[in-house]
Structure 1
Amino acid sequence: MAERIPTRLGDGSLVHMTRGEIEADLHDGTEAAARRAKVEPLGEDELDHLLDIFTSPARFSAVDIGHEVVLSIDGSGNRDINAPVLEQIVYQNHHGADIVEVWNSDYSYKAVKTVLSFQMQELKDTLLQTVVPVHYGAMPDLGRYSQPDGPAPNWSQLLPQGRIDEARAAQEEAMALLEADMWHTAEAAVATGADGLDFDTAAAAGDADFLATLHVTRRIRDAFPDFGVEIGMASEMVLGMHGQLEYEGVRLAGQWPLGQLRAVTAAGATIFGPAVNVNTTRSVAWNVARACTLVKPVTAEATIPVHMNAGMGVGGVPMTPYAPVDATSRVSRALVDILGLDGL
């Protein structure tokens, strides 16, 4: 009987699979991604390397010495001890973070605007106490501007009714409000001395959300040429909630990671964070093979640093609040080894 190897599903559950089953999952994952995104599947040597990683009996896996990458943390510090500045120091000194991020628990630029002065004081205090670069981060979160939470009509209600033009107009109205809030925060962060902004989970509400992020990124780049902008995506494909929006003549709806990279580069971003959502019912090996396949064209073409999103439910990391280290270490090593990432 073939040896059954302990491994994980996308929800973090411990399962046991044979080497042959893990190998089959790796092939299935890369082929699934290649079919959907119309990209090349991983090569046999890459799949063999992934197989070695996921069949190793070791508790922990890691890249080789000299192949370490930058760790940029969105939402660093978990508010566990209600001392946000101290938690940033802990992330820097003990967790090995190379870039930390000041953030608000209500993680959207709409909410941040209401407490901006307090957030900038926290940012200033963090800058005084740390050595590594410090970003300020939040989600664009376009949906916050729709009724009942915001002033714009709710396009998620209009679309099922077939009121397409009204839904598109509502998203465009919300975009203007979002861009104003993001720019307001950007000006404050620059004045406070931040090293950059993180537009995290961009395009979560679709192509209008993404376009607003690109517009503000370009505005920041033109006004503050040396200021960092990291754009971390919400998903491997941009949803066409509007469907007709373009950036520099290219439609945003339906963009896979390579198209997203080209858009954020054109807008002037300094770090790109592709995201590939996890299928919780498939193995971590399957999810990693799929993620690597979708992002490999990005690292082959990128002219700005690529920091893959590798957190809860993205990049192959299990969808669970405290992902097991046997899974996260294998995922991180696999992404770095196969993709040649600049960071995570």
Structure 2
Amino acid sequence: MAEEKKFRTSMGDGFIVHMTEEEIRSDIDAGVADAVKRGKISPLTEEEKNHLYNIIIMPGKVVGVEPGREVVSTNDSGSYKVSSKCMISIRRDEQAAIAERVWGCDSIDIGNTDYNYKTVKGIADREASTMRMALQKTTMPLFYGAMANLGFYTKPDGPVENWSMLLPDGRIEEAMEAQEEAIEHSVRDIVFVAEQIYNAGGDGINLDTTGAAGDADFLAALKATEIIKKEYPDLAVEIGMAGEFVLGMHGKLEYDGKRLAGMYTHDQVKAVEKAGASIFGAVVNTNCNKSFPWNIGRVCTFIKACTDVAEIPVHANVGMGVCGIPMNEILHTDIVSKTDKALIEICKIDGL
């Protein structure tokens, strides 16, 4: 009896494996079921799962969409990747030109290597100068990006008590108050930097890895967005999430009457819309112990639920360790391009 054909794919940690049709379809079903259970959302249809299976088994090193179905791209910390990742000394404004004219990027993020708004506030005028120089060299939209990163506001480096130290001691009320105080500091810093970037002629602000410190971190981004869009309505705001699920480090914070803790992508996007953001960067975490078929089935279920309700563009985050991309430094181009194709064709995303 001939051995059943196996197809090359990978695990969530990037380890290459070979799976049969039955194994792939079984893992797709399991990934979809996990998303349905956790997010309380609708599953992919049988037609969509068949489409996903056909994408997974495509033999090419790189796969793509049909002409006319391409989507635009945004990014985080894009303009210092050449110097930080490739160890080639080159200014950020020059890297922006490379991104536009060599890589064919649709936009780029002029971020500082110390990628948080608390740090950037102290050098905002110099960062604005970098933005001006980059604008002179490029025609594509230029964002300025950083993280709210609420943890930076805790002692000894910041002004508020460290809730991660208070919570284990059972000092719950103090921990909640510390997070609420940190929100106000963060909002002021984000808005201050946004003003400098707006005055320099920047096209947008990227609030990256939002919610990394939990629901307070998410609320800081939402509040800052409200102010930015009121003061500078022409300045685009992209809110990119840290994860599929908002952690309840505070637990009781609400926005527009809805509790932030526990929100999945399809709820997150509605809060982001309400705040006035221009683009939502959706995230679904990659499980390193599961296969690519399991992960991408789960990802497509979550992201499709998000795009079904979204009224602003959704750019799925396809960086390392999210939205089906394996958690390893050197990524497999077949897995990356299959992820992109699935997100575009099945989930109807607006960008990557």
Do they superpose with TM above 0.5?
A: yes
More displaced 10-residue stretch of structure 1: 107-116 or 207-216: 107-116
Given the alignment, which residue of 130, 145, 151 partners 2:138?
Answer: 130
Unaligned runs of 5+ in 1: none
Amino acid at match of 2:350: D
Partner secondary structure for residue 171 of structure 1 = helix
CA distance in 2, matches of 1:121, 1:323: 34
Partner of 1:56: 58
* Cα deviation, residue 291, structure 1: 1.0
Number of residue pairs the alignment of both structures matches? 344
Partner of 2:214: 206
Partner secondary structure for residue 55 of structure 2 = helix
CA distance in 2, matches of 1:234, 1:57: 32
Partner of 1:317: 325
Amino acid at match of 2:48: E
CA distance in 1, matches of 2:38, 2:347: 19
Partner secondary structure for residue 339 of structure 1 = coil
Partner of 2:33: 31
Given the alignment, which residue of 295, 302, 308 partners 2:316?
Answer: 308
CA distance in 1, matches of 2:21, 2:104: 33
CA distance in 2, matches of 1:69, 1:42: 22
CA distance in 1, matches of 2:22, 2:89: 47
* Cα deviation, residue 316, structure 1: 0.7
Question: Are 2:248 and 1:240 aligned?
Answer: yes
Given the alignment, which residue of 75, 81, 86 partners 1:73?
Answer: 75
* Cα deviation, residue 148, structure 1: 2.8
Partner of 1:111: 119
Partner secondary structure for residue 136 of structure 1 = strand
More displaced 10-residue stretch of structure 1: 196-205 or 292-301: 292-301
- Contact 1:71 1:96 survives alignment (8 Å): no
Partner of 1:283: 291
Given the alignment, which residue of 85, 89, 98 partners 2:106?
Answer: 98
CA distance in 1, matches of 2:299, 2:102: 29
Amino acid at match of 2:13: D
CA distance in 2, matches of 1:13, 1:222: 47
Given the alignment, which residue of 266, 271, 275 partners 1:258?
Answer: 266
- Contact 1:127 1:194 survives alignment (8 Å): yes
Given the alignment, which residue of 79, 89, 114 partners 1:82?
Answer: 89
Q: What is the Cα-based RMSD across aligned positions, in Å?
A: 1.0
Partner secondary structure for residue 311 of structure 2 = coil
CA distance in 2, matches of 1:11, 1:94: 30
TM-score (norm 2): 0.96
* Cα deviation, residue 66, structure 1: 0.8
Question: Are 2:185 and 1:177 aligned?
Answer: yes
More displaced 10-residue stretch of structure 1: 84-93 or 95-104: 84-93
* Cα deviation, residue 149, structure 1: 2.6
* Cα deviation, residue 90, structure 1: 1.6
CA distance in 1, matches of 2:294, 2:313: 26
Partner of 1:152: 160
CA distance in 1, matches of 2:301, 2:155: 38
Partner secondary structure for residue 87 of structure 1 = helix
1:41-76: CA deviations, max 9, x gaps? Answer: 111111101111111221111111110001112111
1:117-150: CA deviations, max 9, x gaps? Answer: 2211111111110111000000110011112331
CA distance in 1, matches of 2:171, 2:69: 52
Instruction: Give the percent of matched residue pairs that are identical in Structure 1 and Structure 2.
Output: 44
CA distance in 2, matches of 1:280, 1:327: 14
Off by >3 Å, runs of 4+ in structure 1: none
CA distance in 1, matches of 2:346, 2:298: 12
TM-score (norm 1): 0.98
CA distance in 1, matches of 2:47, 2:169: 50
CA distance in 1, matches of 2:33, 2:151: 34
